[in-house]
Structure 1
């Protein structure tokens, strides 16, 4: 595949321009018949057949060094730079070839150059002292051999093209590395590269840590974690390298900020290297949340069991006669449980035609303001249905608590014991 190549000729001799045009843009060679005719009939003036070196050349001609430098500057700015510049050594009255190439190199750091000279006032060492980029120019003696010119142009053009491709590939690689590094820097994990002996080769702390980034590399795993944990991690590192399978474990260790949980994931580096990458993730907050959720679930389960037990024990309505019932209250009462008890009692009063409802609070551990308020509501609801509420089991401590709260339960008949309340109900209804 031919690549179009831009070549600059800088020479003060117009005939040299013609030679370069003929050599670098030569047409096909003559046929063998034409060659034999030239040999038999002495066609000495006919142009010599040139060896074919395939080139697709765009030539630009300049007569002085300053003009050549300007052309290079313009080509570079337009995005269509020259690959090769052939520069004559002497071009009076302007600058010489060495100075011309020096300035050309300043304008375009990629261009390749060729000195064209029949003789020079400077030695190669002196030229090299002025042009230290010795890998970017050649010296071509006049008179030219067309094969040398074409081969030089082809070789330097290919070199220029390959160097540009390599520079683009290198720039793309650097860009990719920068993106990967940015991605790694954004990861919340610490990254560690180790060999199968446990030596740390690279280390990056997670963002937000006391020394985040690529800080000082610890010498071994034992500098990062307790010896027993380091031995367990090293065993998994070797297993990952030998088997080519990722490994995982969790460490629990004491750090500067307290007890920490760390998730460790180990992956063999591959490529025939006896190394592995360790990803270290601090999961302390996750484990704390999980522990809190576990405790919350346990409390919920315990509460549900308690509620079920209380429901089994709560508010049975015990009829003691056709007109009287007893409701023994046991345990703590909240608004929900009190409402359930009240609804059951009122439904029972209506269903049985009850005239006396005994509320026994012997099993209530303490008499607080909420419990007193619920008793008052229940007693009021019982009275609205035409029955008489009776309170039993109210001991001295409970009475003192009610007094301290300023609750009198006035209008509610009370008895010290359940037996007294039952006896009252039986006498009242003569049963």
Structure 2
């Protein structure tokens, strides 16, 4: 594949321009017979034989150094720079070739240059002192061979192209690196690269964590991790490198300035590709641990509060024995399902413990009777019967009775008395105590 090459020739001799046009542009082809004829007898008027190297050249001609410098400036501004500039050494009355190339390099640092000269007033050392970029120019002696010109044009244009490609690749690499750095800086994790001996190769601390400050790279894990944790972390690093697996641990740092301790989650991943190195991702999880501790404290408080509520519930529904076979459970205040369950459990346990045969449930202190309360009474009465005792309900006043009728709740089968005294008298008579 041919690459189009823009070449500039700066020479005050029009004949030299014609030579470059013949050499760098493909001319008419001659037959092999004509070639042999020219070789045997000479053919000064015939077109010059072109070498095998092919070029796709866009040629620009200038007669003076200042003109050539301006052409380079304009071409670079258009985004169509020259790859190679062939510059004559002497171009009176204007600037010489050394000054011309010096100014061209100032306009375009990438262009490759060739001095074309039959003789020079300056030595190589003097030229090099004026043009420090010795790797960007060559010297072509006149009269030059066409193959030399084409070879220089091809080689220098290829060099120019490769340098531009490397520059673009380098710029893309720098941009990619900048993006990755920006991404890393945006992450809350710290990054640490270590080898299997625990030497730190790169380090970016997690925000707010203890240890060395940003920009400082600790020499080893011992300088980074808390005392006593280095051996454990290094063991996990080596295991991750050897097995190619991830490891995880947690470190506890002492906070600076009275900020308290910092919890840091450490994830260890082998770098891969056979390299004996690992990447440690450091995440500050102090807030997470604080929330977990707070949630744990709240659960403990809730459990303690629930126990207190149950204890108070048990105290609010005392079981009062009135004889060896009879007990009274006085209910006072509002009643809900949880309290009803607590009352029922306490009563059934008391019946079993005392061998009770009559359980009097007194609702004189209950301000209102609703469907939920009625259902709790029915459940309690049924459970009492299953234990072989007889449930008795006392203190059910007119308002409560009307509420039950309105709700359609029937307490049939449950012996009731208007007052607690009547219920107690019934139990005593029954057991003749």
If the TM-score is normalised by the length of the shorter chain, which range does it land in?
0.7 to 0.9
Q: What TM-score, normalized by structure 2, do the two folds share?
A: 0.74
Is 1:147 the counterpart of 2:185 in the alignment? no
Is 1:357 the counterpart of 2:395 in the alignment? yes
After superposition, the Cα gap between the structure-2 partners of 1:101 and 1:215, relative to the gap in structure 1 and judged at 3 Å, is same
Is 1:197 the counterpart of 2:197 in the alignment? yes
Check the 8 A contact 2:210/2:254 in 1, yes or no.
no
SS at match of 1:273: coil
- Alignment partner, residue 167 of structure 1: 167
- Alignment partner, residue 277 of structure 1: 279
Which of residues 354, 357, 370 is equivalent to 1:343?
A: 370
- Alignment partner, residue 215 of structure 1: 215
Residue 328 of structure 1: how far off its partner (Å): 1.8
Structure 1: 5+ residue runs without aligned partners? 359-378, 387-420
Which of residues 396, 401, 420 is equivalent to 1:422?
A: 420
Check the 8 A contact 2:210/2:253 in 1, yes or no.
no
Check the 8 A contact 1:89/1:115 in 2, yes or no.
yes
SS at match of 2:194: strand
In the alignment, the residues of structure 2 paired with residue 42 and residue 422 of structure 1 have an alpha-carbon distance, to the nearest angstrom, of 148
SS at match of 1:258: coil
Residue 243 of structure 1: how far off its partner (Å): 1.5
In the alignment, the residues of structure 1 paired with residue 423 and residue 7 of structure 2 have an alpha-carbon distance, to the nearest angstrom, of 125
- Alignment partner, residue 265 of structure 1: 267
Check the 8 A contact 2:209/2:262 in 1, yes or no.
no
Structure 2 counterparts to residues 12-31 of structure 1, below 5 A: 12-27=12-27, 29-31=29-31
In the alignment, the residues of structure 2 paired with residue 195 and residue 245 of structure 1 have an alpha-carbon distance, to the nearest angstrom, of 15
Check the 8 A contact 1:240/1:246 in 2, yes or no.
yes
Residue 424 of structure 1: how far off its partner (Å): 7.0
Residue 275 of structure 1: how far off its partner (Å): 1.8
- Alignment partner, residue 368 of structure 1: none
In the alignment, the residues of structure 2 paired with residue 298 and residue 105 of structure 1 have an alpha-carbon distance, to the nearest angstrom, of 79
Check the 8 A contact 1:326/1:357 in 2, yes or no.
no
Residue 333 of structure 1: how far off its partner (Å): 6.8
- Alignment partner, residue 395 of structure 1: none
In the alignment, the residues of structure 2 paired with residue 72 and residue 253 of structure 1 have an alpha-carbon distance, to the nearest angstrom, of 62
Residue 214 of structure 1: how far off its partner (Å): 3.7
Which of residues 287, 290, 307 is equivalent to 1:288?
A: 290
Residue 226 of structure 1: how far off its partner (Å): 3.1
After superposition, the Cα gap between the structure-2 partners of 1:334 and 1:93, relative to the gap in structure 1 and judged at 3 Å, is farther
Q: What TM-score, normalized by structure 1, do the two folds share?
A: 0.74
- Alignment partner, residue 388 of structure 2: none
In the alignment, the residues of structure 2 paired with residue 183 and residue 385 of structure 1 have an alpha-carbon distance, to the nearest angstrom, of 71
In the alignment, the residues of structure 1 paired with residue 59 and residue 264 of structure 2 have an alpha-carbon distance, to the nearest angstrom, of 67
SS at match of 1:251: strand
Check the 8 A contact 1:23/1:150 in 2, yes or no.
yes
SS at match of 1:109: coil
In the alignment, the residues of structure 2 paired with residue 42 and residue 62 of structure 1 have an alpha-carbon distance, to the nearest angstrom, of 32
Check the 8 A contact 1:84/1:156 in 2, yes or no.
yes
- Alignment partner, residue 409 of structure 1: none
Is 1:178 the counterpart of 2:178 in the alignment? yes
SS at match of 1:180: helix
Residue 246 of structure 1: how far off its partner (Å): 1.5
The number of residues matched between the two structures is 369
Deviates more, 1:37-46 or 1:158-167: 37-46
Check the 8 A contact 1:194/1:275 in 2, yes or no.
yes
Check the 8 A contact 1:185/1:213 in 2, yes or no.
no
After superposition, the Cα gap between the structure-2 partners of 1:426 and 1:294, relative to the gap in structure 1 and judged at 3 Å, is closer
- Alignment partner, residue 75 of structure 2: 75
Per-residue Cα deviation, 1:155-206 (whole angstroms, up to 9, x for no partner) = 0000000000000000000001101111111111121122222222222112
Per-residue Cα deviation, 1:235-293 (whole angstroms, up to 9, x for no partner) = 01111111221111122343333233221111122333322111111112112222333
In the alignment, the residues of structure 1 paired with residue 243 and residue 372 of structure 2 have an alpha-carbon distance, to the nearest angstrom, of 73
In the alignment, the residues of structure 2 paired with residue 99 and residue 22 of structure 1 have an alpha-carbon distance, to the nearest angstrom, of 27
Deviates more, 1:269-278 or 1:226-235: 269-278
Per-residue Cα deviation, 1:314-350 (whole angstroms, up to 9, x for no partner) = 87999x9xxxx976238x97888789964369749x9
SS at match of 1:162: helix
- Alignment partner, residue 406 of structure 1: none
Residue 313 of structure 1: how far off its partner (Å): 9.3
SS at match of 2:59: strand
Residue 228 of structure 1: how far off its partner (Å): 2.4
After superposition, the Cα gap between the structure-2 partners of 1:121 and 1:104, relative to the gap in structure 1 and judged at 3 Å, is same
Structure 2 counterparts to residues 91-130 of structure 1, below 5 A: 91-130=91-130
- Alignment partner, residue 394 of structure 1: none
SS at match of 1:159: helix
